A = this chain, B = another copy of it.
Amino acid sequence: MSGKPLLEQLMQALRCLPGVGPRSAQRMAFHLLERDREGGRHLARLLEASMERIGHCGRCRTLSEEAVCALCANPRRSDAQLCVVESPAEVAALEQATDFGGRYFVLGGRLSPLDGIGPREIGLDLLARRLSEEGTEELILATNPTVEGEATAHYIGQMARERGIRVTRIAHGVPLGGELEYVDGGTLSHAFAGRRDY
């Protein structure tokens, strides 16, 4: 550790956390040092252990400290449905919001040839193997509605269709509680074009 005062170094290090600027970093450092040293020590131990021991599930690529994560290892979940997302945070969000009882596959990114991110980098070889071996009946595309997200969804949809698997995409449109007047144009035009019988 360099010659700068430890307190300054700590404030700087806290800024690696998302959403933490200089003011919050200062507040956090003072809070821990003055009111919660045990909490600070506990956090240090868990950060250390987590960075070392949490890797990726060999089956769905989500974050996991075991070789196979709890969701993949759960025998009560159905292999018939496989939901493809971009990141582990999205698995957590879907688990909290839905009663989906199938399996997941985490890309860890999206196709972006210009950045050197091709099918291999987002694990599509592993996905292809699963689609061929596991009796998947429905592949649910839950990538984000960005240009790369859509391209990735398109590519994976093709892979599944070639194997005779039904492909669905989660709905994009006006969020619940949203007012048309305040929804951005892209979302609104998407929602309008994607209208359904009522």
Write the residues of chain A forming the contact surface with B, with a CB cutoff of 8 angstroms.
Answer: 1, 5-7, 9-10, 13-14, 16-19, 24, 26-34, 36-37, 39-51, 53-54, 63, 65, 70, 87-89, 92, 108
Q: Which residues of chain B are near A88, meaning CB under 8 Å?
A: 30, 33-34
Residues of B within 8 A of A30 (CB): 63, 87-89, 92
Pick from B37, B47, B92: contact of A43, CB below 8 A.
B47
Return chain B residues, CB-CB under 8 Å to A41: 47-48, 51
Q: How many copies does the complex hold?
A: 2
Q: Are A51 and B65 in contact (CB under 8 A)?
A: no
Q: In the complex the two chains form, is A19's CB within 8 Å of B13's CB? A: no
- The answer to whether B48 touches A44 (Cβ under 8 A) is yes
B14 touches A19 (CB 8 A): no
Interface pair B34/A16, CB less than 8 Å apart = no
Residue of B14, B37, B47, B63 touching A34 (CB-CB under 8 A): B63
Residues of B within 8 Å of A87, CB to CB, are 30, 34
CB distance from A91 to the nearest CB of B (A): 10
**11 pairs, CB–CB < 8 Å, chain A vs chain B:** A5-B70, A6-B53, A13-B39, A16-B42, A17-B32, A17-B43, A18-B24, A29-B50, A30-B88, A33-B50, A34-B88
CB contacts (< 8 Å) of A19 on chain B: these are 24, 27-28
Residues of B within 8 A of A28 (CB): 17-19
For the complex of A and B, 5 pairs with smallest distance between CB atoms:
A16-B39, A44-B47, A44-B48, A13-B46, A30-B89
Of B14, B26, B37, B108, the residue contacting A51 (CB under 8 A) is B37
**A44 nearest CB across to chain B (Å):** 4
Q: In the complex, A16 Cα to B37 Cα: how many Å?
A: 10
In angstroms, Cα B17 to Cα A47, docked, is 13
Option from B33, B48, B51 in Cβ contact (under 8 Å) with A33: B51
Instruction: Among B16, B27, B31, point to the contact of A32 (Cβ < 8 A).
Output: B16
